[in-house]
Structure 1
Amino acid sequence: QNPLGRVLLPDELQAIGEICLRYDIIICSDEIHGDLVYEGNQHIPIASISPEINACSVTLMSPSKAFGISGIGGAFAVVSDPHIRDRFQSAAAGINMGLGSLPLVAMEAAYGECNSWFDEKLRYLQSNRDYLCEALLQIPGLRLTKPEGTYFLWIDFRDSGLNEPYTSLFDVGLELSNGDVFGDAGFLRLNFASPKPRLEKAMERLGSLFG
């Protein structure tokens, strides 16, 4: 889940699916971060919970986040129900420009030839996550939940003493995503898919705001 980084459990997915079934809602599940799950957690596609939930689900997936190829493009949808698939394809016809050969080759290479590279990347991201969680919790007034997946940290600045956290951080050379975009003032989202020395420098700058 973006921005919090929660990896939903089967019973949570079941509850969401049952609500959608009860009210005849089609589920559109964006699982683009599904590969980015840390040790002790498992990504479970909501469509796998039951045949009934699968029949009302559209699952969107792409290797772009996990393998760092967003600039190339390339994604796909898994739609089991033929009637929903027809509606999906009709709706996409006016906006889908189609895929060139490069995105197709990139997706095939990412999923078929990069397992060891991805495992190393995931370990590096987990190390970054652990470092940042420890460093941020040393700063009085900051709160966060350690993400179970993704490369984002959702940081609560509401008790930090900073009236405008986004502006205060920007003034010391840090630009995080403003939580207002996600509907929560007082929160900032930090992307830690970055070399650790850069994150260490970021923590130095953040610490300077708190004396």
Structure 2
Amino acid sequence: MATESPFSQSVDRTQSNSIKWQKYQGQDILPMWIADSDFKVPEAITDALHCHVDHGVFGYGSAPAHLTQLLVDRMARLYQWHIEPDWIVYLPGLVCGINLSVRATTQTNGGVLCPTPIYPPFKQAVKLGERSYQPLPITLNDQRWLLALQDDAVTPDSQLLLFCNPLNPGGTVYRRHELEAVCDFAEKHDLVVCSDEIHSDLILDPNCQHIPFASIREQAAQRSITLIAPSKTFNIAGLGASMAIIPNPTLRRAFVKAKAGIVPDVNVLAYTAAEAAYEHGQVWLDEQLALLRQHKQKLEETINALPYLTLHPIEGTYLAWIDASELPVASPFKFFEQAGVGVSPGADFGNPQFVRLNFACHTDTLNEALRRITEAVHALAQQQAQA
């Protein structure tokens, strides 16, 4: 008897202590905001967790040597990036890695160059670290959102450049020459680059390939902190297992020092899940990518056929950055919410005229969301025509 695909199953998450689904509990609003998926994880992860739970002891743990080797082998196989085991610093989440990068590489009131619009914890990390926030605009170039490397944004206090590839929001997967330009900019201004690459496994455009920033040349590696995790890829964000890869020993020591006594170790179940994901999750990941590519195509076609809305091609991530600047409403976020679709407000990222929609969901959920959006936009267009 054939096993039902985890991607054809509709999973009820309303009683699972899910932040995503609790937000609109009791309301007829589809939660398509925070970046976790609605898919059951690979069976190998569940089996590994069951095995650990059945053992019945949950004491302190350390990073399994096998997990470290899986990560080393994975970087070499996927990206021809040959890393050393001692470059890896394990973290209980990627956001703390952003905060540690800010505190380890800059002084109080030091300058941090930060893309905008961008994933909110980037800007929050600068504020929490009491550093100087120095925005670099993300601009549209031939339907792709790219970081504008502006020399006049740099000051004598600038020490760190926060970077995101694939881009959240926007979905850009940076090409090699674009990464080389980032490295040239960092060398010119003597900047450390913290590269958030958590969505690196979620490449949807078949013409794109993820390239780790640190892999492009030795000068990039020596001024880089690369942040990765299996959490978005395999839907295990709630367990908390992330990694910083830091080739430069001086940078790595500063990062570890900033972490000491404040950031806890990764818990044993998170290590178990990460190990199972990287060792046995590829078939599941391939199936997920096939579905996400279908969802991306349907989303782009539907949104771009509507008045007022624009969605530029999504190269990576499962997050659609929808331009609603032509909508004749005060708040695009509230418009979507009133239509019954709960998205992330663009204001949180730096542009209130956009919304971000998570399409890592059951196909029926996406279809219903698109139906609601289409109905609401057409009703608004009719009202405008009659006004």
TM-score, normalization by structure 2: 0.54
Is structure 2 residue 242 aligned with structure 1 residue 79?
Answer: no
Unaligned runs of 5+ in 1: none
Partners of 1:97 and 1:114 in 2: how far apart? Answer: 27
Of 177, 191, 194, the residue aligned with 1:28 is 194
Partners of 1:173 and 1:199 in 2: how far apart? Answer: 12
Cα displacement (A) at 1:100: 1.7
Is structure 2 residue 199 aligned with structure 1 residue 58?
Answer: no
Q: Which moved more, 1:119-128 or 1:156-165?
A: 156-165
Of 99, 102, 115, the residue aligned with 2:266 is 99
Of 16, 28, 33, the residue aligned with 2:182 is 16
Give the conservation status (yes or no) of the 8 Å contact 2:310–2:324: yes
Cα displacement (A) at 1:20: 0.8
AA in 1 matched with 2:196: D
Give the conservation status (yes or no) of the 8 Å contact 2:346–2:354: yes
AA in 1 matched with 2:193: I
Larger Rg: 2
Q: Which moved more, 1:162-171 or 1:119-128?
A: 162-171
Deviation string for 1:100-130 (max 9, x for gaps)? 2111111111111011010000110111010
AA in 2 matched with 1:5: G
Is structure 2 residue 360 aligned with structure 1 residue 193?
Answer: yes
Aligned alpha-carbon RMSD (Å): 1.0
Cα displacement (A) at 1:93: 1.2
SS in 1 for 2:195: strand
Give the conservation status (yes or no) of the 8 Å contact 2:325–2:353: yes
Partners of 2:277 and 2:371 in 1: how far apart? Answer: 35
Partners of 2:294 and 2:274 in 1: how far apart? Answer: 26
Pairing of 1:1-211 with structure 2 (within 5 A):
1-38=167-204, 39-209=206-376, 210-211=378-379
Percentage of matched positions with identical amino acids: 37
Partners of 1:43 and 1:123 in 2: how far apart? Answer: 17
SS in 2 for 1:28: strand
Cα displacement (A) at 1:94: 3.6
SS in 2 for 1:106: helix
SS in 2 for 1:144: coil
Partners of 1:179 and 1:11 in 2: how far apart? Answer: 29
Partners of 2:293 and 2:264 in 1: how far apart? Answer: 36
Partners of 1:95 and 1:65 in 2: how far apart? Answer: 24
Cα displacement (A) at 1:160: 2.5
SS in 2 for 1:148: coil
AA in 1 matched with 2:195: S
AA in 2 matched with 1:2: N
AA in 2 matched with 1:118: L
**Structure 1 segments of 4+ aligned residues over 6 angstroms from their partners:** none
SS in 2 for 1:66: helix
Cα displacement (A) at 1:172: 2.2
Partners of 2:375 and 2:222 in 1: how far apart? Answer: 53
SS in 2 for 1:161: coil
Partners of 1:185 and 1:96 in 2: how far apart? Answer: 33
Partners of 2:310 and 2:302 in 1: how far apart? Answer: 11
TM-score, normalization by structure 1: 0.97
SS in 1 for 2:226: strand
